[in-house]
Amino acid sequence: MINHSFPVLGQPIPVRVPQTVEDFQEFQRYVLDRANAGERVAYDTETTGLDTYSSGFRIRTAQFGTPNEAWVLQVEKGSDLQRLASWALRTLPALSMQNRNFDMLASDRHIPGITLEELAPKTLDTYIYSHLADPRRRDQGGVGNGLKDASAHYVDPSAPDTQGGLIEEFHKIGYTKDTGWPHIDIDNPLYLSYAGGDVILTSRLLPKVEARVRELGINPALPAFEHAVGFVCALIERRGMRIDRTYTAQLSSDLREEATHWAAEAARYGVANINSTRQVSEALLGMGEKIPERTAGGAVQVNSTVLKRLADVDKDWEPIESRTPNPLAMAILRSKRASKWRTSYAEAMLRTADENDRVHPKIGALAARTARMSISDPPFQQLPSGKWEVRHAVRADDGCRMISVDYSSVEPRVMAALSGDERMTAAILRGDDLHNLTAASVYGPGFTPGQRKVAKVVQLGVAYGGGAKTIAAQTGLTLAAAQSAVKGYKRTYPQLARYIRDLQRQVVRDGYTLRTPSGRRLVFDRDAAYASFNGEIQSTARDIFAQGLLEIHARGLTPHVLLPVHDEIIADATDNEAEEVGREIGEAMTMTLRGIPLGTDPDVGGASWGSLYMKKAEVMTANDEWYAAHPDEARKAEEARK
């Protein structure tokens, strides 16, 4: 037995690293004793990285621990240790993990005999309780929901920083924070004691955060709800979605060419590096352009709004024809967009795809301070939606078509439901266009299309907690005109206006916190009570969506689901079933909130995600091209049709 220790509250807690058959038997006794006592045991893994599905990924150690003892199994040393970890995971009746989806999915894939389905029902996630207690990140003034921050707050402020502390060890062997994980010696004492420390901290953290959630009077149903939502997201993450590697590689190379071409164009105007905002602004000013905008740091701002104005195009890149377009501004816009699309999306897909050409974007089921989900590696919540080319890289499974089901204008509906505004509610129940109603009320029945547009911007501005100034900037209206539009909006929906005012007062009285209709606790910055209405809408919409996801699961439709995207489910099904599956998912998501119906809008596309973003003619061409390049698929699709 190799014995190390980890300090908690001034006490060294033993960390045991079994080496011999006798040591393994001692570990087995530890596990059986805990199992007989029904005691919950913390579990964690140390791995080569976070890319669970890439070819080089390995689990290096598997740790089990209780508040006063930790065991580190060096599973990469041999299959006997891996079997021991597998046996322990199956034998223990109750587990805890910090951010359980990562360890559950890594163990599901890399430890024989272990499945996500078996682990999830007996595992509690300390992250979920931390997030329910304080949903803010550390840089937002919160406790922080990582193991280090949460343990420092709830368990022991002086406990070592187990991730940070290893960086020095990595440097000693010539690696960095990001590259050291696969290379650090498996017998490194600090590595092992910190690995043990993580489970000791997790097991001590769980009762603290559970108690904190109770103390705060948070809806006692939320922990189980979040564990259920997280499990469904783990199933979706494990399935992943297929990319067309050939298409994606071609897309990447086309984008590289485009970026290079326009960068060369920019170089003709003296900008050697288009990503250097200083070079760009100096060159543009040198061409005689006037740029009044400044960044927060005081630099001349050359963001896309500024560049599009100089290039004489609107936000959708359509020519305005109000001036002579500045060729440098246009070259920089084009080059930056191409290189962003290449590096962040195309290359990210190629880099993270597994051996079956499937990407497994990480779904943070409970992420934002409003509880909204996040998706990373690759960031599939934010692929370009104005053009289809990037999303076209993502393909439905063989013989399948892509399906998208989203909630129809969920945010205005949630606004009406929360505020109980009678006029807004009546308009929604009648099925009237809200922006037409607003425009008619503010500008009279003869309102112009432009005035309807203003009504729409005001609606969104109010939902975001914005004011007349930002609305003026967005619409080109004078400040006075924007102010009167906001006034008119508030006159149109008086109960909504009152609700927002009262909510902000309430939030200030309650120490900048708010309880949502789900019983979730939101916390706001002291200078941003104005954000409370948006927080409540966004959070409520997220919980509606999560509820919809659980209903999809209850109806057995999860195997079709590829991705959740805020208020939209991406799914696939065979040619024959797609319409029906889309309808079923839509029905599962449909519900009412305080009498307001929350309907859905299913859409069935072709073989690629991008097809949902094409015009009809483009779908036909793209499908034909793809089937021409994949004759096997064409045959399969033909058979499926029969």
Site for DNA in 379-398 (CB under 7 A): 379, 381-386
Measured from the CB atom, the residue of 70 and 349 that comes closer to DNA is 349
Q: Is 296 in the site for DNA (CB under 7 A)?
A: yes
Measured from the CB atom, the residue of 250 and 273 that comes closer to DNA is 273
* 50, two tokens: 């976070």
361 contacts 376 by C-beta, under 8 angstroms: yes
**Nearest to residue 251, comparing CAs of 361, 385, 348, 381?**
348
- What binding mask, one character per residue, do residues 133-172 give for DNA by CB under 7 A, x or -? ----x--x--------------------------x--x--
Footprint (CB under 7 A) of DNA, residues 557-596: 565-568
> Rounded to whole angstroms, how far apart are CA atoms 132 and 628?
51
- What binding mask, one character per residue, do residues 466-505 give for DNA by CB under 7 A, x or -? xxxxx---x--------x--------------------x-
Measured from the CB atom, the residue of 75 and 368 that comes closer to DNA is 368
Q: Is 409 in the site for DNA (CB under 7 A)?
A: no
> Rounded to whole angstroms, how far apart are CA atoms 147 and 638?
52
Range in contact with DNA (rule: CB under 7 A) among 190-198, 215-223, 291-299, 491-499:
291-299
> Rounded to whole angstroms, how far apart are CA atoms 130 and 206?
9
> Rounded to whole angstroms, how far apart are CA atoms 330 and 310?
8
Three-state SS annotation for 401-420? EEEEEEECCHHHHHHHHHHC
Select from 464, 498, 575, 636 the one that contacts DNA (CB under 7 A). Answer: 464
Q: For the CA atoms of the chain, what is the radius of gyration?
A: 27
**Nearest to residue 564, comparing CAs of 544, 585, 549?**
549
Footprint (CB under 7 A) of DNA, residues 519-538: 528-531, 534-535, 538
Footprint (CB under 7 A) of DNA, residues 177-206: 177-178
Range in contact with DNA (rule: CB under 7 A) among 318-326, 342-350, 417-425, 427-435:
342-350
Angle between the N-to-C axes of helices 126-133 and 189-215, in degrees from 0 to 180, rounded to the nearest 10? 50
Measured from the CB atom, the residue of 153 and 369 that comes closer to DNA is 369
* 489, two tokens: 């909006």
Measured from the CB atom, the residue of 148 and 560 that comes closer to DNA is 148
Measured from the CB atom, the residue of 68 and 385 that comes closer to DNA is 385
Range in contact with DNA (rule: CB under 7 A) among 75-83, 88-96, 340-348, 414-422:
340-348
Q: Is 276 in the site for DNA (CB under 7 A)?
A: yes
Measured from the CB atom, the residue of 219 and 301 that comes closer to DNA is 301
| DSSP character at residue 610 | G
What sign has the CA pseudo-torsion 335, 342, 623, 404? negative
Torsion of CA 286, 287, 290, 291, to 10 degrees: -70
**Nearest to residue 153, comparing CAs of 167, 142, 164, 162?**
142
Count of residues of this chain found to bind DNA when the rule CB under 7 A is applied: 72
> Rounded to whole angstroms, how far apart are CA atoms 629 and 258?
24
Footprint (CB under 7 A) of DNA, residues 5-64: none
Collapsing DSSP to helix, strand or coil, 563 comes out as strand
What is the nearest approach in angstroms of DNA to the Cβ of residue 108?
Answer: 21
Q: Is 344 in the site for DNA (CB under 7 A)?
A: yes
Select from 120, 263, 368, 434 the one that contacts DNA (CB under 7 A). Answer: 368
Select from 253, 273, 478, 621 the one that contacts DNA (CB under 7 A). Answer: 273
306 vs 273, 283, 303, 315, 333, CA distance in Å? 18, 14, 5, 10, 10
